[in-house]
Amino acid sequence: MGTTCQIAGCKNDSPSALAEQKLCVLHFTLSLETSCAQMRRETALGHAPQDRQREIMRFITDQGERLARVATSGLHLTDDLKARILSTFLTLMNLRENLDRASMRSSLGRSVHPR
Protein backbone atom coordinates (compact mmCIF):
# COMPACT_ATOMS: atom_id res chain seq x y z
CA MET A 1 0.00 0.00 0.00
CA GLY A 2 1.54 3.21 -1.13
CA THR A 3 -0.93 5.93 -1.94
CA THR A 4 -4.41 6.91 -0.92
CA CYS A 5 -7.27 6.54 -3.39
CA GLN A 6 -7.66 9.65 -5.56
CA ILE A 7 -11.47 9.73 -5.21
CA ALA A 8 -12.52 12.67 -3.06
CA GLY A 9 -13.47 11.58 0.44
CA CYS A 10 -12.09 8.04 0.10
CA LYS A 11 -9.50 7.16 2.71
CA ASN A 12 -8.68 3.66 1.42
CA ASP A 13 -5.23 2.87 0.16
CA SER A 14 -4.46 2.03 -3.43
CA PRO A 15 -2.76 -1.39 -3.70
CA SER A 16 0.48 -1.61 -5.65
CA ALA A 17 -1.29 -3.36 -8.56
CA LEU A 18 -3.43 -0.23 -8.91
CA ALA A 19 -0.67 2.33 -8.34
CA GLU A 20 -1.00 3.63 -11.89
CA GLN A 21 -4.76 4.17 -11.47
CA LYS A 22 -4.41 5.60 -7.95
CA LEU A 23 -7.67 3.91 -6.95
CA CYS A 24 -8.67 1.63 -4.11
CA VAL A 25 -10.11 -1.77 -5.00
CA LEU A 26 -13.70 -0.60 -4.58
CA HIS A 27 -13.35 2.46 -6.80
CA PHE A 28 -11.33 0.53 -9.39
CA THR A 29 -14.09 -2.07 -9.73
CA LEU A 30 -16.77 0.64 -9.89
CA SER A 31 -14.81 2.44 -12.61
CA LEU A 32 -14.32 -0.80 -14.52
CA GLU A 33 -18.04 -1.61 -14.30
CA THR A 34 -18.91 1.83 -15.67
CA SER A 35 -16.44 1.50 -18.55
CA CYS A 36 -17.77 -1.96 -19.41
CA ALA A 37 -21.35 -0.69 -19.45
CA GLN A 38 -20.40 2.10 -21.84
CA MET A 39 -18.58 -0.33 -24.14
CA ARG A 40 -21.49 -2.78 -24.10
CA ARG A 41 -23.83 -0.01 -25.23
CA GLU A 42 -21.30 0.99 -27.89
CA THR A 43 -21.01 -2.52 -29.28
CA ALA A 44 -24.60 -3.71 -28.78
CA LEU A 45 -25.68 -2.91 -32.31
CA GLY A 46 -22.55 -4.36 -33.90
CA HIS A 47 -21.49 -1.11 -35.55
CA ALA A 48 -18.13 -0.74 -33.79
CA PRO A 49 -15.27 -0.73 -36.32
CA GLN A 50 -12.73 -3.53 -36.15
CA ASP A 51 -10.07 -1.24 -34.68
CA ARG A 52 -12.42 -0.32 -31.85
CA GLN A 53 -13.27 -3.98 -31.28
CA ARG A 54 -9.55 -4.79 -30.97
CA GLU A 55 -9.15 -1.87 -28.57
CA ILE A 56 -11.99 -3.21 -26.41
CA MET A 57 -10.45 -6.70 -26.47
CA ARG A 58 -7.14 -5.25 -25.22
CA PHE A 59 -9.05 -3.36 -22.53
CA ILE A 60 -10.74 -6.57 -21.37
CA THR A 61 -7.43 -8.44 -21.27
CA ASP A 62 -5.45 -5.69 -19.55
CA GLN A 63 -8.08 -4.92 -16.94
CA GLY A 64 -8.78 -8.61 -16.29
CA GLU A 65 -5.07 -9.21 -15.67
CA ARG A 66 -4.88 -6.18 -13.39
CA LEU A 67 -7.95 -7.32 -11.47
CA ALA A 68 -6.47 -10.82 -11.12
CA ARG A 69 -3.24 -9.33 -9.70
CA VAL A 70 -5.26 -7.36 -7.16
CA ALA A 71 -7.34 -10.39 -6.20
CA THR A 72 -4.36 -12.70 -5.77
CA SER A 73 -1.87 -10.25 -4.29
CA GLY A 74 -2.43 -11.35 -0.72
CA LEU A 75 -4.33 -8.24 0.32
CA HIS A 76 -6.82 -8.72 3.10
CA LEU A 77 -10.11 -8.34 1.24
CA THR A 78 -13.50 -8.30 2.90
CA ASP A 79 -16.14 -10.72 1.66
CA ASP A 80 -17.94 -7.77 0.07
CA LEU A 81 -14.82 -6.78 -1.89
CA LYS A 82 -14.27 -10.39 -2.96
CA ALA A 83 -17.84 -10.53 -4.23
CA ARG A 84 -17.37 -7.22 -6.04
CA ILE A 85 -14.18 -8.50 -7.70
CA LEU A 86 -15.96 -11.67 -8.85
CA SER A 87 -18.86 -9.60 -10.15
CA THR A 88 -16.44 -7.38 -12.06
CA PHE A 89 -14.80 -10.44 -13.63
CA LEU A 90 -18.25 -11.53 -14.74
CA THR A 91 -18.87 -8.07 -16.20
CA LEU A 92 -15.64 -8.34 -18.21
CA MET A 93 -16.65 -11.80 -19.43
CA ASN A 94 -20.11 -10.54 -20.42
CA LEU A 95 -18.56 -7.65 -22.33
CA ARG A 96 -16.36 -10.11 -24.21
CA GLU A 97 -19.36 -12.30 -25.00
CA ASN A 98 -21.38 -9.26 -26.10
CA LEU A 99 -18.53 -8.20 -28.37
CA ASP A 100 -18.34 -11.69 -29.89
CA ARG A 101 -22.09 -11.77 -30.54
CA ALA A 102 -22.07 -8.29 -32.08
CA SER A 103 -19.14 -9.27 -34.27
CA MET A 104 -20.94 -12.40 -35.43
CA ARG A 105 -24.12 -10.43 -36.20
CA SER A 106 -22.26 -7.88 -38.26
CA SER A 107 -20.31 -10.54 -40.18
CA LEU A 108 -23.54 -12.44 -40.87
CA GLY A 109 -25.13 -9.25 -42.13
CA ARG A 110 -22.24 -8.74 -44.54
CA SER A 111 -22.31 -12.29 -45.85
CA VAL A 112 -26.03 -12.38 -46.67
CA HIS A 113 -26.64 -11.80 -50.35
CA PRO A 114 -29.82 -10.07 -51.48
CA ARG A 115 -32.04 -12.17 -53.74
- Write down the pLDDT at residue 115: 46
The low-confidence residues of the chain, meaning pLDDT below 50, are: 1, 111-113, 115
State the pLDDT at residue 107.
Answer: 62
The CA-atom distances, in angstroms, between 110 and each of 24, 57, 79, 104, 105 are: 44, 22, 47, 10, 9
pLDDT of res. 103: 75
Domain boundaries in the chain? 25-111
Which pLDDT score is estimated for 106? 65
Q: What is the pLDDT of residue 96?
A: 95
How many alpha carbons fall within 13 Å on the CB side of residue 6?
A: 8
